Structure 1
Amino acid sequence: MYTHMAKLLRVLSIIILILISIAITFDSGIFVYPSLSNTLFFSILVSLLTLITAFYAIHNTSYEKVSIYSCIVFFWGVYILLHCYHTNGEYYRSLYLISSIIYLITLSFLIRIQIINITFIKNILLCIAIIQLVFMLGQSLNIIDSYSKYFPISGTNENPNTNAIFILCCLPILIERIRNLDKTFIYKILFGCILLFLFILKCRTAYIGGAILLATYLLSGKRIHRFWKKSNYIRRALLLSLLCTTIFFTGIHIYQIKKDSADGRLLIWKLSTEMVAKNPIEGYGYGLFERNYNLKQASYFCSQPSTTEHQNASLVAMAYNDYLEQAIEGGITGFIWYLGFFILLGYLAIRQKNREALAIVLAIAIMALFNFIYAAITTWFLLLNYGAILLAASNNQFSLPTLIKRLISIIFCCIASILLYHQCRVINAQIGLKKSIGLIKERRFEEAGNLLARLLEQASTSEAFLTQYANSLAKQKRYEEAIPIYKKASLYTSNISLYYRMADCYAHLSQYSDALTTLKTIAAIIPTNLRSRYQIMCLQRHIQDIEGARQTALEIINISPKVYNPKAEQYKKQAREFLEHSK
């Protein structure tokens, strides 16, 4: 009976893992933006995988031991869940992180009981890399349209940097296969293609990660160890000095490649550090970095004279440093959990003498200092798979009575069922959101509003859903009803489009003070934004605040927008005309 169940579990697990790899690689197109498709389908498939695995474990407790490290990682998920409830965190990000942890534990169990083998997992990762290479090749030849508005080559993602980081992390898999297998021609071709596209994509984070991969392989080599032991102190000091000098000048070169972007990140890190210092224990809530950071940035710019920081600033969606972002969202404890996760994987890789895994873990851990990792689902998926491989091979395991094993399996079965239920509700709400956009385009505002009202509870903390619902009410001129929904959405985002619409509602209700405050928030978040200042000037003229309008007009004339366009010139022209006529 158990043999038959094991075969069935193996088949179902393989199918689900293939579906997960497809889900995180391609946008299904049924949601309002691609990342929702990737993360929601990832989460629901993880719940299915956990459910069938737990069901198998309930009926088959013959596995000998339980990994202590899996228990540690499980409590990380418990912390995220409790923190989310305590701080009213953003539901979707919390769900994604918890699903990631559940996937890590489930996959490590499947590997340990030999349902899934490691070669299959690595083949899945290489298949994703091949898909990205094919799409990038097609985009470079203008055969395939880019998935990004801003970059001609992006693979199946909107951000080419996420592809660069992912394909870089696949290099150790290819290195080990080229070293250990006889037929290596295809792997050598793949290796060369990855290097080529890493050069084309010009991702600074990937270059840093590549240096870490190279250093890991060099320093773990036997020849290097022998050379180091034979070297005297003077030679060692010279080598270390040379290494430090190389790192220093390479860092300066990487900084100079995109200086404005680098300066922007320095500002983000500075303000993020201040946010952590202000609220180190609780944090601000998982998924709420974007909302709270931009308000912090607005407050900072209001208290500072105009500098190049003002000129380089824009709306910020992430910290470009996962450790800082985790500290802001989950507090110092959340930061410790995230950092501890990398330390644990690095420790296990060293203990198991798994150079391939060590190179990947170290590279990702360092790249997480300069870019986003867990939000880039393909790279995060790769790390989770290697984490599962390392957990499965760990020796720190303990025995449990059969009854306790069965009870743990039942708990995981319940967790997976609850997650599955909530994920289905969320997916239903997001499908409804996509449908409502079509209805609004057809000017069927009332029908769209009624649809969204029915799904409001299922949508939970979705700022996109709440904003769209408020938009449908505003289109029906139900401004008093729309404003509370906009305010609720503003608890989860600081997207300026929301503030524009909320200011418009205030203006229609003649609540000009609130409208001005809302528009000034936009102007503070992005100091070079001319549209918000132009609307402020128009409102000030409307309420006969001529002196205030003149001051705003002067700001419009003096500000240099990041990107010049006809609209910007129009705002400046009208500001000059107003100043001339109001003398």
Structure 2
Amino acid sequence: SRGLGFVFKQFFVKESDSTRFEKGLLQVVVLAALVHAIVAVLQSIEVLSNYNYFFKTTGLFTNPGPFGCYQSFALAALLPCILLNFGSFKRTQKILSVIAVLLLLYGLILSDSRAAYLAVIVTVMVCLFLRFRSRIKINMIYIGVLLLLFSGLLFVLYMHRPSSANARLGIWKITVQAVGQKPALGYGTDGFQRTYMLKQADYLTNADDDMRRSADEVKTAFNVPLELLYEQGIVGLLLWCSIVFLSIKGILESTDNKNTPLLFTIISFLVFSLFSYPHQIWGLTCPFIALLSRGGYDKTFIKVDGKTETKVLSGLEISLLSALLLLFVSRIQIDRNLIRYSRFDMDYQEVESYHTVNSILYHSPSLLFFYADNQMLMNDYEAAISTITQYKKYRNSYTFERNLAYSYEITEDTVKALEHYEVAHAMCPGYLEPLFSMFLIYESRHDNRAVSLAKEIVDFSPKVVHSRTDAMRGRTIQFLNTIKDD
């Protein structure tokens, strides 16, 4: 459905050849960002509740990263226009534009997103360069000063949260190493979430203790080009770069410069994508596709008469809309079934009886995630094993590896449980839960390996310390004391 949606979006934009559409699109982006900024301000003064316990402000998202991207996106669309045309604005327009920029800048600060900060700075620099390029003489000294300033900026952003930056550098290192194994075509669509955690588990086997302890569950490379290289290889990355290049070239070669505001928004998205994951947020990707489509060349390479063109376009529109409608109706039925199941209105067998729509369910990772989570809450552990096994064809994660191990443990298949607890521990060695679960299984078997695991747990330095980890260590200390007394 996501792929069909992308195709339909680009097709619609290319056929809507209107300056009003371009202005309307940018206005919608700015308006949405202003709404996010207002929500964030209200969250910062605790008028509205937050969507994530770990962050003070997130806008309407569950994480400040996408919220920061929206702020940088809107500033890229608005700020250059104001900088270049402020003198020609009426008094009311000047007041409103200043208020909007200040609100977006404050929202940007509240997001605490380094990628968003960098995106805004680069966008403003490009804007100023294009505005005064006729007066600037490019030479080695000028380039050297720019590189020095940019390096200093990157260092300041790195030192803002070095632990977070080091974690991303570690992810990039593992990703690059994995790309070396399949450089040409990559691991396929969604291959990152399907295989990365397994690659991380292999890499951490020989890593130092600090990196092993800090390793976390990873769902994105925090770098769109690098993740694209991982999934589609060099061929896919070159194709993507060529599309972006042609779009930007088309904008720069525009004789009337009507597309110039689009350029800054595209640049903002591209800079942000080097350090975050805007491609996973539909509300960010959709405008980006539209902007690229508007900036591209509009040449007709196949000459057809007007009637034939109308019929072909109508056929494509009907086909795409029909496919999207079918997926939409099926998704509603699936959601209805899963919600009824979670409320005890349906049992597992009844959910499985919908064979037609379940063909979509079993190929949708997000739906499988929700389904498996509910199966465990309903204590349908055998069903959960089946669903999680299907889910692992599309995603591999620490959480579901641990859940699969627990499901096997409850169904008394301790051999499989130990196997998957081992994998979960290898993926994220800094978490204590898999290690403690293995200890309990060996203890119940009266296996001597329980003693060695108990000693390892006592000396263990977990990534996160809380009451549960303290209770686990206390339990193993009690076990070791019992062994000594015997």
TM-score (norm 2): 0.89
Trace 1:1-40 onto structure 2 (pairs within 5 A).
none
Structure 2 unmatched ranges of 5 or more: none
Question: Larger deviation: 483-492 or 526-535?
Answer: 483-492
Identity over aligned residues, as a percent? 19
Instruction: Tell me how far 1:534 sits from its aligned partner.
Output: 0.4
CA distance in 2, matches of 1:433, 1:135: 31
The 1:466/1:453 distance shift into structure 2, 3 A limit, reads: farther
CA distance in 2, matches of 1:357, 1:376: 19
Instruction: Tell me how far 1:320 sits from its aligned partner.
Output: 0.3
Query: Aligned to 1:269, which of 169, 172, 176?
Result: 172
Trace 1:325-336 onto structure 2 (pairs within 5 A).
325-336=227-238
Q: Secondary structure at the match of 1:117?
A: helix
Q: Secondary structure at the match of 1:316?
A: coil
Q: Secondary structure at the match of 2:48?
A: coil
Trace 1:66-145 onto structure 2 (pairs within 5 A).
95-112=1-18, 117-145=21-49
- Counterpart of 2:134? 225
Instruction: Tell me how far 1:314 sits from its aligned partner.
Output: 0.4
- Counterpart of 2:244? 342
Could you tell me whether the CA contact under 8 Å between 1:342 and 1:365 is conserved in 2? Answer: no
- Counterpart of 1:173? 77
CA distance in 2, matches of 1:317, 1:228: 44
The 1:484/1:305 distance shift into structure 2, 3 A limit, reads: same
CA distance in 1, matches of 2:183, 2:317: 32
Instruction: Tell me how far 1:242 sits from its aligned partner.
Output: 2.0
Q: Does 1:522 align with 2:428?
A: no
- Counterpart of 1:309? 211
Query: Aligned to 1:559, which of 460, 463, 471?
Result: 460
The 1:118/1:516 distance shift into structure 2, 3 A limit, reads: same
Trace 1:386-401 onto structure 2 (pairs within 5 A).
386-391=291-296, 394-398=297-301, 399-401=303-305
Instruction: Tell me how far 1:306 sits from its aligned partner.
Output: 3.5
Q: Does 1:421 align with 2:326?
A: yes
Q: Does 1:185 align with 2:95?
A: yes
Instruction: Tell me how far 1:371 sits from its aligned partner.
Output: 0.9
Q: Does 1:451 align with 2:351?
A: yes
CA distance in 1, matches of 2:147, 2:80: 28
Instruction: Tell me how far 1:529 sits from its aligned partner.
Output: 0.8
The 1:469/1:127 distance shift into structure 2, 3 A limit, reads: closer
- Counterpart of 2:124? 214
The 1:452/1:146 distance shift into structure 2, 3 A limit, reads: farther
Query: Aligned to 2:286, which of 370, 378, 381?
Result: 381
- Counterpart of 1:14? none
CA distance in 2, matches of 1:381, 1:527: 37
Counterpart amino acid of residue 408 in structure 2: Y
- Counterpart of 1:505? 407
CA distance in 1, matches of 2:396, 2:163: 23
Per-residue CA distance 1:173-224 (angstroms, 9 max, x = gap):
32355315433321111011111221232210011111211211121123x4
Q: Secondary structure at the match of 1:397?
A: coil
Instruction: Tell me how far 1:259 sits from its aligned partner.
Output: 1.0
Instruction: Tell me how far 1:468 sits from its aligned partner.
Output: 5.2
Per-residue CA distance 1:268-313 (angstroms, 9 max, x = gap):
11111122222234433323422311111112222x1433211221
- Counterpart of 1:146? 50
- Counterpart of 1:45? none
Instruction: Tell me how far 1:418 sits from its aligned partner.
Output: 1.8
- Counterpart of 2:476? 575
Per-residue CA distance 1:54-106 (angstroms, 9 max, x = gap):
xxxxxxxxxxxxxxxxxxxxxxxxxxxxxxxxxxxxxxxxx324412320221
Question: Larger deviation: 181-190 or 522-531?
Answer: 181-190
Per-residue CA distance 1:145-167 (angstroms, 9 max, x = gap):
12223212111111112111112
Could you tell me whether the CA contact under 8 Å between 2:65 and 2:276 is conserved in 1? Answer: no
CA distance in 1, matches of 2:279, 2:349: 34
The 1:561/1:171 distance shift into structure 2, 3 A limit, reads: same
Q: Does 1:494 align with 2:399?
A: no
- Counterpart of 2:440? 538
Q: Does 1:299 align with 2:205?
A: no
Per-residue CA distance 1:389-434 (angstroms, 9 max, x = gap):
324xx45334422354122431342133123212321232134323
Counterpart amino acid of residue 208 in structure 1: L
Could you tell me whether the CA contact under 8 Å between 2:213 and 2:463 is conserved in 1? Answer: yes
Could you tell me whether the CA contact under 8 Å between 2:421 and 2:435 is conserved in 1? Answer: yes
The 1:509/1:135 distance shift into structure 2, 3 A limit, reads: closer
Q: Does 1:164 align with 2:68?
A: yes
Could you tell me whether the CA contact under 8 Å between 1:430 and 1:459 is conserved in 2? Answer: no
- Counterpart of 2:112? 202
- Counterpart of 1:436? 341
Instruction: Tell me how far 1:237 sits from its aligned partner.
Output: 3.1
Structure 1 unmatched ranges of 5 or more: 1-94, 230-235
Per-residue CA distance 1:345-380 (angstroms, 9 max, x = gap):
221221114432222222222221111121123332
- Counterpart of 1:240? 143
- Counterpart of 1:278? 181
CA distance in 1, matches of 2:331, 2:136: 58
Per-residue CA distance 1:419-465 (angstroms, 9 max, x = gap):
321232123213432332233xxxx6x63552355353231323354
CA distance in 1, matches of 2:104, 2:411: 57
Instruction: Tell me how far 1:527 sits from its aligned partner.
Output: 0.6
The 1:472/1:366 distance shift into structure 2, 3 A limit, reads: closer
Counterpart amino acid of residue 549 in structure 1: A
Counterpart amino acid of residue 362 in structure 2: S
Could you tell me whether the CA contact under 8 Å between 1:107 and 1:388 is conserved in 2? Answer: yes
Could you tell me whether the CA contact under 8 Å between 2:362 and 2:390 is conserved in 1? Answer: no
Could you tell me whether the CA contact under 8 Å between 2:4 and 2:320 is conserved in 1? Answer: no
Could you tell me whether the CA contact under 8 Å between 1:550 and 1:579 is conserved in 2? Answer: yes
Could you tell me whether the CA contact under 8 Å between 1:320 and 1:371 is conserved in 2? Answer: yes
CA distance in 2, matches of 1:216, 1:475: 52
- Counterpart of 2:225? 323
Counterpart amino acid of residue 332 in structure 1: I
Number of aligned positions between the proteins: 471
Could you tell me whether the CA contact under 8 Å between 2:405 and 2:421 is conserved in 1? Answer: yes
CA distance in 2, matches of 1:472, 1:452: 14
Counterpart amino acid of residue 225 in structure 1: S
Counterpart amino acid of residue 139 in structure 1: Q
Counterpart amino acid of residue 103 in structure 1: K
Question: Larger deviation: 291-300 or 498-507?
Answer: 498-507
